[in-house]
Amino acid sequence: MINLNNYDYQLPDDLIAREPAKPRDSARLFIYDTANDEIHFDRFYNLDRYLPEKSFLVLNNTKVLPARVTITKENGGKVVVLFLVNEIFKQDNYLLVKGLVDRKIILREKVFFDQKYSGLVIAQEKNIFTFKFYFSQEKLFSLLEKYGQMPLPLYIKKTALSEEKLRQSYQTVFAENRGSSAAPTASLHFTEAVFSKLQQKNIQKFFITLHVGLGTFAPINKQNLSEKKLHQEYYEIDPRQWSEITALKKKNVPLVAVGTTVARTLETVGLNNQLHGKTAIFIFPPYAFKYVDCLITNFHLPKTSLMLLVEAFLRQKKAKRSLIELYRTVIENRFRFYSFGDAMLIR
């Protein structure tokens, strides 16, 4: 049984990154070479120096929506909702959307974006509510674009960035498919300059989509561990991209997964052979990765599924150090943590 206390650590408050590095590819890069048990420090713009020759990247091209919005209750009170836009269910003539709510609302209560567009609260599971809207997904997305804010994690307090700046910085430069309630943070460091350097070394890139929601960031509970499942997240891979990915893997070309969301998606398809659907896969030690040879990731919150996935990858690589040992080194050397923080490459 997993002991979550082994994935706890104390982080000085000033190491929580409240805005990204400028430019974004100047973030620090922590490289751990598992074969030689060697650690290197560098900058992300030098990523090409550390990837295996003839390797290829797989990145998540999901696009974050400004999904945190203040809506009005029937009695005139305000409530802040983080809509889980990766959990949208279309019915005959309405839309069902789940959301995290910051204060009390009542079942069967109406909620309003504005005078024209409203919805109904129809279900509750702890602090997750289900809303019914009599309009399309496109209309919901446009309302969020108009009234919403980028869903920065709540631990990023007092950021100096305006909403306009956040809509740029809390988004990858290659974001395409709308549907995430959080950014795939390992990909935030990439720039066209980084991709250009990789291309010069014949390192190809491919894209998959996983819309990020609670499955990625929710705290682990006993039910997760016993059922070996997390909250579901929608994923999709273009058949042509998958064909090229699998062809390269058959030739033993190293695959570099950019982020835990990519690792989850690849391993899900490896298990079920379905190129689209929902994944609830919970990867923790011991786990035999079928696709991932190298992993780029950020530094994660304590006791999370993200830490367990990275630990599982370290063990597969027969690393001499545990993740918590690496984190101690990272903290001692004052790397920046979490969504806007620095990056780690495990090879």
DSSP 106-133: -TT-EEESSSS-EEEEEEEETTEEEEEE
Q: How far apart are CA 246 and CA 236, in angstroms?
A: 15
Burial (CB count within 10 angstroms: exposed 0-12, middle 13-18, buried 19+), residue 342: buried
In sequence order, the 6+-apart residues with CB closer than 8 A to the CB of 46 are: 29
Other CB atoms within 10 A of residue 202 CB: 10
Element holding 344 (H helix, E strand): strand 343-346
- Average of per-residue pLDDT across 154-165: 82
In contact, 15 and 337? CB cutoff 8 Å:
yes
Residue range 227-247: mean pLDDT, rounded = 92
In percent, the amount of the chain with pLDDT more than 70 equals 99
Distance CA 306, CA 201 (A): 30
Torsion angle, alpha carbons of 279, 206, 57, 262, to 10: -10
The whole-number average pLDDT for the span 172-181 is 96
Has residue 28 got a pLDDT over 90?
A: yes
Distance CA 174, CA 60 (A): 9
Q: Which residues make Cβ contacts (< 8 Å) with residue 228, sequence separation at least 6? A: 282, 284
Local confidence band at 20 (pLDDT 50, 70, 90 cut-offs): very high
